[in-house]
Structure 1
């Protein structure tokens, strides 16, 4: 029997929360948060709007979940990378850049959404999310400041340098193409070099 185009109950259950979030990222990346409806997300996911509401209370909760999971994963990976990098500021900065670049290239649509739609988050969720982003920035700030204090980095503007490095690394999601001449690993290595140049690393 031909399909009616209406998602079945079995299909709705099979898609689940992860499928809905993936669909939401896809649609919002194309049309923006305000240009996307719950029905748009449900249709892209292949579920009914009712099935979507089984997992999420609203479109706002969908966006909040996407952004919360993203920043949580980034913070976890960054803390792990720093723990494994040792004590040398150069190695620690390289580790930070590696995580920041590769994370933002894993799912470019998702990370771009997280950057562009921060304004769409409602309070108090927006403030909580900003606080977690600030935690990520402070990890860079701390490594650069430590390097300056130990004479390994020579930049006279450590806070500005750390901020510029984060912006640079985050921005790869907006331009990288898998069809381009550079692969992800090479982009990461070049950005490590740029970051060390920005902080005036001695002998690195």
Structure 2
């Protein structure tokens, strides 16, 4: 029992850190970063406002960590999906569709990331804020580089038409990112319907044919 208690105490700081992040994601995603109160985040995880500073230097520091973590998750997923490629068009469609196969929490993370992206351009004097900001900026560059490299290889294989891979990357990512400005879970459109529309548009940008919508395929199978 004593061993279990000690182990629980060791896990506690990380568990509380993660709980604060989850509460902040909910608040920033629901109310917007500027309109969210740092004290309300503390209250939602059952701690006092001053206790937040044991985990994050400021609300902005927490925001930068959320943004960096979201970008790292997106990069890791892209790298996993493109590690072994035998069919570039099929892989591109799978990668694009996977960008919409998200949990409600992941949707909020993307909303926060895109809504507050401009803050990544502002240098911070606080070392911890600046470290988290630089981590997010680095992951942004890494994600764009990974996409551009993959698209260059697809062009070399004749799978997609020749174009500037950097501009093509920004066109595709820009279209995907635009969704998180307006999409709301539980709204008129399901994420699967949004995916059908935007995956087709992204593939068109890449010079590939429009696929059969996954939602239409599902309806036919159900019938």
List alignment gaps of at least 5 residues for structure 2: 1-11, 125-129, 212-223
* More displaced 10-residue stretch of structure 1: 15-24 or 134-143: 15-24
Equivalent residue number for residue 215 of structure 2: none
131, 138, 148: which one aligns with 2:155:
148
Q: Write the distance in 2 (CA, Å) between the matches of 1:128 and 1:135.
A: 10
- Residue 90 (structure 1) shift: 0.7
Residue range with higher mean Cα deviation, 21-30 or 133-142: 21-30
Indicate yes or no: 2:68 matched with 1:68. Answer: yes
Maintained 8 Å contact 1:29/1:109 = yes
Contact 1:75 1:136 in 2 (8 A): yes
The one-character-per-residue Cα deviations of 1:5-47 (angstroms, maximum 9, x if unpaired) are xxxxxxx99x822221122223334554455453232134332
The residue that corresponds to 2:86 in the other structure is 87
- Per-residue CA deviations over 1:83-102 (Å, capped at 9, x if unaligned) read 25x23221221232123333
CA distance, structure 2, for counterparts of residue 176 and residue 31 of structure 1: 14
Alignment of 1:55 with 2:55, yes or no, is: yes
2:144–2:166: 8 Å Cα contact kept in structure 1? no
Q: Is the 8 A contact 1:100 1:170 kept in 2?
A: no
Structure 1 pair 145/202, CA: closer, same or farther in 2 (3 Å)?
farther
Cα distance between partner residues in 1 of 2:56 and 2:95: 33
Deviation of the 1:166 alpha carbon: 0.7
Deviation by residue 1:149-190 (Cα, 9 ceiling, x = unmatched): 222212544432221111111222222244455432343233
Length-normalised TM-score, structure 2: 0.70
| Aligned residue among 117, 120, 132 for 1:125 | 132
Go from structure 1 to structure 2 and tell me whether the alpha carbon gap of 1:19 and 1:128 turns closer, same or farther (over 3 Å shift): closer
2:25 maps to what in 1? Answer: 25
Alignment CA distance shift 1:26-1:203 (3 Å): closer
Task: Return 119-128 or 132-141, whichever deviates more.
Answer: 119-128
Q: Given the superposition, is the C-alpha separation of residues 178 and 59 from structure 1 closer, same or farther in structure 2, using an over 3 Å criterion? A: closer
Aligned length: 191
- Deviations 1:94-147 (CA, angstroms, capped at 9, x unpaired): 232123333486533321211222343533433331121121122221222222
Q: RMSD across aligned C-alpha pairs, in angstroms?
A: 3.1
CA distance in 1 between partners of 2:88 and 2:166 (Å)? 15
Question: Normalising by structure 1, what TM-score?
Answer: 0.75
| 1:58-85 CA-partner distances (Å, limit 9, x unpaired) | 323322321222112111111111125x
Structure 1 residue aligned with 2:115: 116
